[in-house]
Structure 1
Amino acid sequence: MNKKLEIIINFKTSVPFYEQIVNQIKASILNRELDDGELLPSVRTLAKELEISILTVQKAFESLRQEGIIESVVGKGNYVKYDYIHKIEDEDIQSFESRIESIVREAKKRNLSENELINLVRLFYCD
């Protein structure tokens, strides 16, 4: 593992530990703290560091595998799956484009010109 994966378990929340691990690994990937193909800590290592059950970490990793976020290589470990980041970025771009399309439709309904809409965008963009 090239970078230190920092996971913090909140023992006072009702969110299950495995779900906290899943959410934090996803966030680390999306924030580019973990890269495509990067090796994750072993189940045992992570369980020991977090002072939780190995079964809990295994459940988190299995959930990540089922979502296509990580892949396991027998005898080598768990890796961030190649193309996961690109898939998420594509989904984000599609969502962003959809929101823009919705805004443009709304602007047209309100009879705003293209220049008026662009000026509005500039006002928010410059903040």
Structure 2
Amino acid sequence: MNILISSTSGEPIYAQIAGQVRQMILQGELTSGTPLPSIRLLAKELQISVITTKRAYEELEREGLINSIVGKGSFVSGADQEFIREQRLRIMENKMKEIIEESRLLGIGFAEMSDMMKLIYEEE
């Protein structure tokens, strides 16, 4: 599992880990039942505290994306596709909110923003 930690990011390290693992799960890179590195191993690989790694895994477990079994480790949960779709929609909505905020700061109205979005969508 390739996780990159940025020391210059304003985001806490546990949140960076959780965010990257979350993305891997929601994008299908990590599928149901896939074992995750142990908390100790990941902490050692990233050269961070075990507590930080544990906090990241706890956050993912609260979200229902992973399951931890004492003595066995942590695994990507068997969340159904509808749940994963809902999670991805939530992420998309947050990104759209950021775009709307930025467009308002730039004085771009909904019609112009919609035209830009349509143009970009049709390019891809």
CA drift at 1:85: 4.7
Separation of aligned partners in 1, 2:58 and 2:67? 9
Letter matched to residue 11 of structure 2: V
List gaps (5 residues or longer) in structure 2: 93-117
Q: Which of 5, 13, 33 lines up with 1:9 in the alignment?
A: 5
- Give me the identity figure in percent: 41
Name which one, 1 or 2, has greater alpha-carbon Rg: 1
TM-score (norm 2): 0.68
Query: Which residue does the alignment assign to 2:75?
Result: 79
Name segments (4+ residues, structure 1) moved above 6 Å. none
Once superposed, what is the RMSD of the aligned Cα atoms?
Answer: 2.5
Cα deviation code 1:29-77 (max 9, x no counterpart): 1222111111000001100110100000001011111111111111110
Aligned length: 97
Q: Which runs of 5+ in 1 are unaligned?
A: 97-120
Mark the CA change 1:50 to 1:84 in structure 2 (over 3 Å): closer, same or farther: farther
Instruction: Quote how far apart the aligned CAs of 1:19 are.
Output: 0.1
TM-score normalised per structure 1: 0.66
